[in-house]
Amino acid sequence: MTETTFNFCAGPAALPVEVMKKAHAEFLDWQGLGISVMEISHRSAEYQVLATQAESDLRELLNISDEYAVLFLHGGASHQFSNIPMTLLQKSTTAEYVCNGMWSSKAAKEAARFGGVKSIDVLSKDTDGLQMLLPQSDWQRAENAVYTHYTPNETIEGLRFAQPVESEAPIIADMSSCILSEVIGIDGFDMIYAGAQKNIGPAGMTIVIIKKALFDKMDFSSVPNIYNYQVQTKNGSMLNTPPTYTWYLASLVFQWLKSQGGVAEIEKQAILKAEKLYACIDEDDFYANPVAVANRSRMNIPFILKDPKLDELFLTEAKKSRLMGLKGHRSVGGMRASLYNSMTIEGVNALTDFMLSFKKQFG
Ligand SMILES: *Cc1c(COP(=O)(O)O)cnc(C)c1O
């Protein structure tokens, strides 16, 4: 490869190049065993060391206390859309679902199959017609909710809560597209989950961080063991064979994050990268982002061209310049650049340089 390709895909997303190189170098011979990490028993002493180290690195990165269990589970974030209400919600009880976009709405819809759901639509428009999130003081809350579910960063619309959501009920957050990108106070959450394929590793695994006290509120009587968070905790996420290769790559990503200075440093980078791209979009009306400044995402930045007839050309020319994965989600169209942790500032510079020269040519 002569020139670097930058991948802005929303998910599965780019992984740090250092991680890919390490995985490549030890693919056939892991730790001198002469076989791949993919071929080894999850119960072997060698794999146990990896699994334990990955968990302790994640605990260190997010400052997770012993009050919480950390699980490495099969499946996507969508599995949790069912697993959560399956254990916490009944026909006679109600959960609050804060809806600020596509993923949170899907989570609410799935939960309604299990019990009562109060969806709180917090999407609004400001006086300039930009999408914004209503302040929490204006929300119509549920009474006696068994939990409050929300999505701190909506991946498709590029909307982010600037403040964590508050609730009297246990708080559950889908952090699939923002985990490890900013410093969070774990104590403010009873459960956090995140599909791996955005900021953690390849697809096929979801990380669940769960306050052990929440087990007491869960009804596991009719829940299959494999979906029983308490049983999974007791078994170190190894009730059955876990997604060992994804877990391994996640372990490399955690080590990489630590080598970058941890989450506080990564957050600084994320702010710089996002500011750079938003500045380029905001320069004039050739490009536009539809979100109010206070609620703009740092991870997923959608933008449109003033002339949508240029969309296709923009994408083909971008690809020629080795800028990949910029097509917006099929439901909203336009473009979207995802700037997850592995996206470098060089990648963002390459994108903004391209956008400026495209504008010069076609603006
Ligand atoms: C990508 C994404 C999901 C869906 O993840 P799957 O692993 O495909 O189920 C859910 N929530 C958010 C916020 C996402 O970004």
- 67 burial class (0-12, 13-18, 19+ CB within 10 angstroms)? exposed
Q: Is 247 considered catalytic here?
A: no
pLDDT at 117 over 80: yes
Asked about 198 being catalytic, the answer comes back as yes
pLDDT digit string, tens, across residues 204-234: 999 999 999 999 999 999 999 999 999 999 9
Helix ranges, the chain (H): 17-25, 45-62, 77-88, 102-111, 229-234, 244-259, 262-282, 311-320, 345-362
Whether 179 shows a pLDDT value over 70: the answer reads yes
The answer, yes or no, to whether any atom of ligand 1 lies below 6 A from the CB of 195, is: yes
pLDDT at residue 154, rounded to an integer: 98
The reply to whether ligand 1 has any atom less than 6 angstroms from the CB of 12 is no
User: Looking at the predicted structure, is the pLDDT value of residue 16 above 50?
Assistant: yes
Mutate to test the pocket of ligand 1, among 97, 103, 198 (most ligand atoms within 8 A of CB): 103
Distance CA 130, CA 332 (A): 15
Closest Cα to atom 13 of ligand 1: 176
Does 3 have pLDDT greater than 90? no
Of 356, 339, 340, 357, give the one whose Cα is nearest residue 348.
Answer: 339
pTM > 0.95: yes or no: yes
pLDDT score, position 1 = 46
Residues 104 and 108: their CA atoms lie apart, in Å, by 6
- Residue 139 contacts by C-beta under 8 Å, 6 or more apart in sequence? 98, 120, 122
Is 174 catalytic? The answer is yes
What is the arithmetic mean of pLDDT over 21-25? Answer: 98
Which domains, from first to last, does the chain contain?
A: 23-259 (3.40.640.10), 262-362 (3.90.1150.10)
